[in-house]
Structure 1
Amino acid sequence: MTRRSPLPRTTLLAAATALLLAATACSTGTENTASSPSDTTVTLALDWTPNTNHTGIYVAQELGYFKKAGINLKILPYGSTDPNTLIASHKADFGISYQEGLTVARAAGQDITSVYAVTQKTNVTIAVSAKRDDIRSPKDLDGKTYAGFGAAYEKPLLQKVIRNADGKGDFRSVALNTSAYTALYANKADFAMPMPTWEGLEADLIGKPLKNFALSDYGFPEIYSTLIASSDTYLKKNPDTAKKVVAALQKGYTYAADHPDKAADLLIKANRSELTNTELVHRSAELLAEKYYRAADGTIGGQSAKRWQDFADFEFSAGLLTDADGKKLTKTPDTSQFFTNDYLPKR
């Protein structure tokens, strides 16, 4: 889960959308589409305006990691089309994805595979205003109002967490048309699911802190909130290029994990018009480096078969997975082909 359905978005400039359409029109599909004899052109679609989830990409771009690998990376700005769709329809070679969206797409037979996990910890929490002394656990959310975004998984996820905390899982929902902390402090809702690495920090900076309940503390499986995905078609046609791209990404995110302050500066440098709140960017970069980029064993980018299967089991049990014809699946899908670690550099 990342900044698409469960989190607020602002409108991009029409020019950005036009650029996306123009760029995707010439997206690559073979090894021989480089902009010069020595560089292979590769496209990567963003899931929203540049933010700290994308730091490693811009670090690798700014420090020349892609260039040194012979890759001419073209970053496609977010437009009106979800990156999962662009990847599965072969209009982007790579793109930012997330476990929930990719699971739904892959279960329905779409051509998309995760090749890199940006975040190793679930980057969304259940949050309430820090002033709410009456809410000390998710079980206290029974009878309360949730400010959501209409994603199918929100209700069953919240019900599972509340019930695991000894509640009933009964709550009302309203559509969130503002930031989570604004809705909570204005008493338009009692709880929401913001990103602690962005909205949570932003709330602190403006004096509206949130109290958070981590999903995994209440029996919900950890989720890869931010992924980088490609298609099986692209990976099979371009295995060497794919390995170079993933290696450059890993170098970029390793740098971001080791040097968050410098990485934040590089991200801001590449996106000055979008990232004007530099304090927020730096604090977010530091939190991601401290708690999100590295797995428990210290590694970066890898993915766990158990984590993929656990989340698919939840989505199946909640009736959220359908086939290509829109019919609900009758058994839990085998997620072993939903992701791969094969393109990561060998340790």
Structure 2
Amino acid sequence: MNPSSPLPRTPRRAVRLALTATAVGALFAVTACSSDSGSGSRDGDAKGLTEVSLALDWTPNTNHTGIYVAQQLGWFEDAGIDLKILPYGSTSPETLLANHKADFGISYQEGLTAARSAGQDITSVYAVTQKTNVTIAVSADREDITSPKDLDGKTYAGFGAAYEKPLLRSVIKNAGGTGDFTSVTLNTSAYAALYAGKADFAMPMPTWEGLEAKLSGKPLKNFELTDYGFPEIYSTLIASSDRYLKANGATAKKFLGAVQRGYAYAVENPSKAADLLIEANKSVLTNTELVHQSEKLLADSYYRAADGSLGTQSADRWKAFADFEYASGLLSDADGKKLTAAPDTSSWFTDDYLPEKS
């Protein structure tokens, strides 16, 4: 997209949010109508590489930079891996993983929480972003809105995910408001409505839609969810299945070693990493200024945890978000019945396959 274009393109998070409401049902449909592909270690080519598949959650973007850096610089091949990147399609990565149609996939904490609550075979193995990569945003020129409490009585342009309203009510109440607002489901038109003044607020990713809006001459004012008592979440993560991990533990560690190496490179060399991402996806990433600004922001504020680590995950963070979803009545079991107790999230993630783990 040209930086002078008045509106951003279709946001990837909008689609992910909309898919959350239907992804679990799709899991059962795939199970019922398709046979197991036998996902696991496979011969990659004559070099004796092991084929590993990774399903994308959207078109290539800066959340995926470390993966493309590792691929462009030959680090997967150095690890003995022939990486097959599966383009984003109509079937979510969560569905592909749970039904063993992909070895790894790009996911997010909200989607994995719904899938695991329903008993699906999916486990988070690498946190790409360590800071919540979604905010509540209003147009920067809205002087009447200086806090989420000012959103009472306003119109939210949303995507139809079940947790949006409870999340927003929680933040608004914690800011001192009543949590009463109007919500309209606009999906991919949400940001256009915000820019046109037909809606008062939305929830963009500051590392993409937020920057895109700025470059388009429509800057946003953001309210961080965690500033108002909402738990920190992993907005982008890499997941696999327990079955794959148990059968291919050594390969999983080699794969994540290359991934971590790619994101470490992106932290230290954001401009070069952005160039490598663009080089691998020239037809998609045409707004090079957006890519470079996004990569710099992610490298500065999102990829590394507070202790400087890459990819690591916190039990407290997984529990806090699941507790919120349970308390809001948003989690259902494999039969579609609401959970009657908060789920145990201790097995929903693992750091055991990160390279520093023995």
Q: 1:102 to 1:178 in 2, by over 3 A?
A: closer
In the alignment, which residue of structure 1 is the partner of 2:350?
340
In the alignment, which residue of structure 2 is the partner of 1:206?
216
- Match of 1:329, SS state, is coil
Alignment equivalent of 1:232, drawn from 242, 248, 251: 242
In the alignment, which residue of structure 1 is the partner of 2:324?
314
Kept in 1, the 8 Å contact 2:14–2:188? The answer is no
Q: Note the C-alpha offset of 1:176.
A: 2.2
Q: Note the C-alpha offset of 1:178.
A: 4.4
In the alignment, which residue of structure 2 is the partner of 1:280?
290
Separation (CA, whole Å) in 1 of partners of 2:146 and 2:261: 41
Q: Note the C-alpha offset of 1:258.
A: 1.0
- Match of 1:337, SS state, is coil
Separation (CA, whole Å) in 1 of partners of 2:290 and 2:42: 40
Separation (CA, whole Å) in 1 of partners of 2:166 and 2:212: 27
The count of aligned residue pairs is: 333
Alignment equivalent of 1:246, drawn from 256, 279, 284: 256
Separation (CA, whole Å) in 1 of partners of 2:77 and 2:38: 17
Kept in 2, the 8 Å contact 1:25–1:91? The answer is no
In the alignment, which residue of structure 2 is the partner of 1:101?
111
Kept in 1, the 8 Å contact 2:140–2:219? The answer is yes
- Match of 2:223, SS state, is strand
- Normalised to the residue count of structure 2, the TM-score between the two structures is 0.90
CA displacement, residues 174-233 of structure 1 (integer Å, 9 cap, x when unaligned): 122545543222111000000100010011111100000000000000000000000000
Q: Note the C-alpha offset of 1:37.
A: 5.0
Separation (CA, whole Å) in 2 of partners of 1:8 and 1:29: 27
Structure 1 vs Structure 2 CA RMSD: 1.9
| Paired letter, 1:42 | V
In the alignment, which residue of structure 2 is the partner of 1:60?
70
Separation (CA, whole Å) in 2 of partners of 1:72 and 1:335: 32
| Paired letter, 2:259 | L
Greater CA drift, 31-40 or 319-328:
31-40
In the alignment, which residue of structure 2 is the partner of 1:123?
133
1:187 matches 2:216:
no
Separation (CA, whole Å) in 2 of partners of 1:275 and 1:26: 34
**Structure 2 unpaired stretches of 5+:** 1-11, 20-33
Alignment equivalent of 1:290, drawn from 296, 300, 305: 300
Separation (CA, whole Å) in 2 of partners of 1:250 and 1:3: 23
Structure 2 counterparts to residues 8-87 of structure 1, below 5 A: 29-36=39-46, 38-87=48-97
- Match of 2:137, SS state, is strand
In the alignment, which residue of structure 1 is the partner of 2:152?
142
Q: 1:26 to 1:205 in 2, by over 3 A?
A: farther
Separation (CA, whole Å) in 2 of partners of 1:244 and 1:317: 38
Kept in 2, the 8 Å contact 1:45–1:94? The answer is yes
| Paired letter, 1:260 | P
Alignment equivalent of 2:170, drawn from 154, 160, 173: 160
Separation (CA, whole Å) in 1 of partners of 2:112 and 2:36: 24
Separation (CA, whole Å) in 1 of partners of 2:163 and 2:129: 20
Separation (CA, whole Å) in 2 of partners of 1:51 and 1:152: 26
Q: 1:6 to 1:155 in 2, by over 3 A?
A: farther
In the alignment, which residue of structure 2 is the partner of 1:325?
335
In the alignment, which residue of structure 1 is the partner of 2:184?
174
Q: 1:26 to 1:63 in 2, by over 3 A?
A: farther
Kept in 1, the 8 Å contact 2:126–2:238? The answer is yes
Kept in 1, the 8 Å contact 2:160–2:187? The answer is no
Q: Note the C-alpha offset of 1:101.
A: 0.4
In the alignment, which residue of structure 2 is the partner of 1:21?
none
Identical amino acids, percent of aligned pairs? 73
- Match of 1:197, SS state, is helix
| Paired letter, 1:188 | K
- Normalised to the residue count of structure 1, the TM-score between the two structures is 0.92
Separation (CA, whole Å) in 2 of partners of 1:203 and 1:7: 20
Q: Note the C-alpha offset of 1:66.
A: 0.3
Separation (CA, whole Å) in 2 of partners of 1:179 and 1:205: 18
**Structure 1 unpaired stretches of 5+:** 10-23
CA displacement, residues 74-112 of structure 1 (integer Å, 9 cap, x when unaligned): 000001000000000000000000001001100110000
CA displacement, residues 239-277 of structure 1 (integer Å, 9 cap, x when unaligned): 000000111110011111111100000000000000000
Q: Note the C-alpha offset of 1:6.
A: 5.8
Q: Note the C-alpha offset of 1:31.
A: 2.7
Q: Note the C-alpha offset of 1:34.
A: 2.8
CA displacement, residues 290-311 of structure 1 (integer Å, 9 cap, x when unaligned): 1000111111100000000000
Separation (CA, whole Å) in 2 of partners of 1:190 and 1:120: 28
In the alignment, which residue of structure 2 is the partner of 1:255?
265
Q: 1:216 to 1:308 in 2, by over 3 A?
A: same
- Match of 1:312, SS state, is helix
In the alignment, which residue of structure 1 is the partner of 2:5?
none
